[in-house]
């Protein structure tokens, strides 16, 4: 499945940007980005498990290069963004926002009413993006993430599509 993004992103020139289903052959690229961005990255076994478990898994492609991924759980009118990431060399260009906009459109097509995600309080860039997009904090999970000094809490955010 291929989803062309409604808005093409580029500085003065049009660049092809689209979503496609994440495939097992993408795991190497996923892990490369994951290890650059996260201090406690998911393993290849976790990503392969997500592919085989039937989650909704997407690759973000720009100019035929793999630049991001999302692992999503969809059930009973709800979506949970389990992992979403853009290559750190491509961050700051509005691609994360475009990715999120497209995923929200996908959720709407799938009759999702509410989207949930967890984010580290220390991830200020992500929190600012989510809040600008209309996500609201609805809770907190104590000791959710591994951290150097033990555990870090998670902020629980939601977005109403209804």
45-to-24, 51, 53, 104, 107 alpha-carbon distances in Å: 11, 10, 12, 27, 26
Catalytic residue among 55, 69, 102, 130: 130
- Annotated catalytic residue 159: no
134-to-83, 85, 96, 104, 114 alpha-carbon distances in Å: 18, 19, 14, 11, 12
Catalytic residue among 18, 38, 78, 118: 118
In the numeric block, the tokens 């989803």 are attached to: 3
- Annotated catalytic residue 144: no
Residues with a known catalytic role: 118, 130
């Amino acid at each position: 499945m291929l989803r062309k993004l409604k808005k093409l992103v580029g500085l003065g020139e049009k660049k092809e940007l689209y979503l496609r289903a994440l495939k097992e052959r993408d795991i190497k690229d996923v892990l490369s980005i994951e290890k650059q961005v996260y201090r406690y990255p998911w393993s290849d076994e976790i990503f392969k498990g997500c592919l085989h478990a039937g989650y909704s898994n997407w690759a973000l492609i720009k100019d035929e290069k793999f630049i991001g991924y999302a692992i999503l759980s969809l059930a009973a009118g709800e979506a949970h963004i389990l992992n979403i990431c853009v290559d750190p060399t491509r961050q700051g260009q509005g691609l994360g926002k475009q990715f999120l906009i497209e995923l929200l459109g996908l959720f709407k097509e799938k009759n999702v009413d509410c989207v949930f995600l967890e984010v580290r309080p220390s991830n200020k860039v992500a929190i600012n993006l989510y809040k600008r997009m209309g996500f609201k904090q609805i809770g907190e999970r104590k000791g959710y993430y591994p951290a150097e000094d033990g555990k870090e809490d998670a902020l629980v955010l939601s977005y109403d599509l209804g």
